[in-house]
Amino acid sequence: MRLEHEKELETVALVGPRDDDGGGDDHSVKVDKVLGNGRYQLLSCVTCGLGVAAGSTEVMAIALALPMIETEFEGEVLTWEKNLMASCIFLGMLLGGLSSGAVADLRGRKSCLIIFTAFIAVFGALTALAESMSQVALFRFLAGLGIGGNIPALFSYVAETTSSRVRGKYMTIVASHWMLGSVITAALGWLILPRDVTLPYLNIGGWRLYFVVCILPAILACVLALAFLVESPCYLIRRKKFLEAAGALEKIVAVNGNRHNDSLFLSELLGLLHSKHAGWSGTGDVLGAEGETLVGGMKHSAVLISQLLKAREQRKLVVVLGTVWFCLSACWYGFMIWLPQFFEAQHDNVYLGNLVTSLGDLPGNVINFFIIDKLGRKNALVLSMGASAVLPLAFAAVPKGSAFWAMLGSASFGFVSVGAWNALSILSPEVFETRLRTTMHGILTALGRIGGFFGTYMVGHFEDQAQSGIWLPCMFASAVLALGLASTAFLPETKGKILTDYRVKGKYSGAESC
């Protein structure tokens, strides 16, 4: 019986923007028309944005707290250990990105973002209990697993629950929370670290208290996701869980107040999904049973990736996107994580310097919000990466010892580079279909983590070469970004692409069209 239904419902294919409703037993499930633009989308953006902020707080926290950690464990730290300490979080992010795709495709976008965000909270807090540098490195690595794992699920979730007309704006809001996390981290560092603030009743203070406080965005993201978010309807349809997909859409429409949807069309769509559920007697989903293991899910993902890479155009797309992710990550992380030590070496206020640098992202995010759906993802990426490639050299040329010019230069870098991050984070999940969206986004972010590890380690190495000053690390950052900029010429434009409409096979006894 199951095999017969698998043949009957074997196709769940993406409907392109120009596809019609088809004929015969094919029916289009046009989710994009009922998603709307209301309270649910804002709620999902805030929740997923806090998940993004949870990652940025952990990445930047180690940069600010590292000098105090070194002081506490004085005598244990060698130069290579210090560089590894700043970079080990990227190793965790690498593995998290590679594994998150299988988790998201096996258990769902919502479950994946909760699981990996909880990793950030748990191991971020455990860092405060570390008794040696090796333990700090271990907990940073495990927190990195959470950061690398939640990002693909977060962006895929927003992409799959937002109308194509405004998807770029909402995904920009999510991406801008990285800036929010950085600002929170810098502000908390300024308040806690130099004053060595201690909680009297818990007997915890200094950098240990700092890491405890920095997990608040992760906790909030998990609570909001558990309480308010539904599973992605697109994921559920792709897994042939039609009844659950109908329930998720009803919840989204109810939260939005049904003001943004055609009620007749919605009832027809829900009728179609219910009829598909009635015609499907399988115990779970076609792509894998509920009891399938993570290893089994990763094997299935590997098969799909292998099929994708057999196509020449898709293979070129993956290579080009991977190059851009690597280059942008190598430059940004290497440059930004090195900045606190630069400000400290210049005897400037390291916390104020990082706060100003993070606030430089604000106008960049605002501008990106208004242009991303008009200018397009590719054009925004090209403009931002071009400007970002020049600014490290400008930063190196500022008058030595000038705190004002140093902060202006670093804030300007944040202002222009945030547009590249936003555009790349939006474009990457948009170019792939639902069954591979989170998997491929995870792989691309993993390549970015390799770039981040490479960039932070190399800049740390250049910093140790005292005779090179700041020119060598800045020239390195500009050269790497220039390579990424050249690669963007081969990227497609995804502005307005519909991601949420599907064609399913099987008889439908409801309305004749949907």
Of the segments 209-223, 291-305, 399-413, 496-510, which one has the largest average pLDDT value? Answer: 209-223
Q: According to the model, what pLDDT value does residue 43 have?
A: 94
| pLDDT above 90 for 484 | yes
d(CA 91, CA 80): 15
Q: According to the model, what pLDDT value does residue 340 have?
A: 59
Q: According to the model, what pLDDT value does residue 348 have?
A: 59
Q: According to the model, what pLDDT value does residue 7 have?
A: 36
Q: How confident is the model at residue 153 (pLDDT cuts 50, 70, 90)?
A: very high
More confident residue, 154 or 510: 154
d(CA 421, CA 418): 5
Q: How confident is the model at residue 137 (pLDDT cuts 50, 70, 90)?
A: confident
| pLDDT above 70 for 369 | yes
Quick one: average pLDDT of 200-220? 87
Quick one: average pLDDT of 95-104? 85
Question: For the ranges 31-45, 177-191, 396-410, 486-500, which has the lowest average pLDDT?
Answer: 396-410
Lateral strand order in the sheet of 501-505: 12-14, 501-505, 26-30
Q: Beta strands 12-14 and 198-199: pairing type?
A: unpaired
Q: According to the model, what pLDDT value does residue 173 have?
A: 93
Q: Where does residue 461 rank: exposed (0-12), middle (13-18), buried (19+ CB within 10 A)?
A: middle
Mean confidence (pLDDT) of the chain: 79
Q: How confident is the model at residue 232 (pLDDT cuts 50, 70, 90)?
A: very high
Partners of residue 204 on adjacent β-strands:
199
Provide the CATH topology of domain 39-231+303-490.
Growth Hormone; Chain: A; (1.20.1250)
Q: How confident is the model at residue 83 (pLDDT cuts 50, 70, 90)?
A: low
pLDDT tens digits, 40-51: 999 999 999 999
| pLDDT above 90 for 142 | yes
Using a cut of 0.85, tell me whether the model's pTM lies above it. no
Question: In residues, how long is the chain?
Answer: 514
| pLDDT above 70 for 6 | no
d(CA 31, CA 195): 53
More confident residue, 426 or 81: 426
Q: Percent of the chain at pLDDT above 90? A: 29
More confident residue, 272 or 312: 312
Partners of residue 27 on adjacent β-strands:
504
Q: How confident is the model at residue 84 (pLDDT cuts 50, 70, 90)?
A: low
pLDDT tens digits, 300-353: 778 888 888 888 888 999 999 999 999 999 988 777 766 656 665 555 566 676
Kindly state the helix (H) or strand (E) to which residue 152 belongs, with its residue range: helix 133-160
The CB-side HSE value for 322 (13 A sphere, CA atoms) comes to 13
Instruction: Bin 36: left if φ > 0, else alpha if -120 < ψ < 50, else beta.
Output: left
506, 9 contact by CB (below 8 A): yes
Q: According to the model, what pLDDT value does residue 8 have?
A: 33
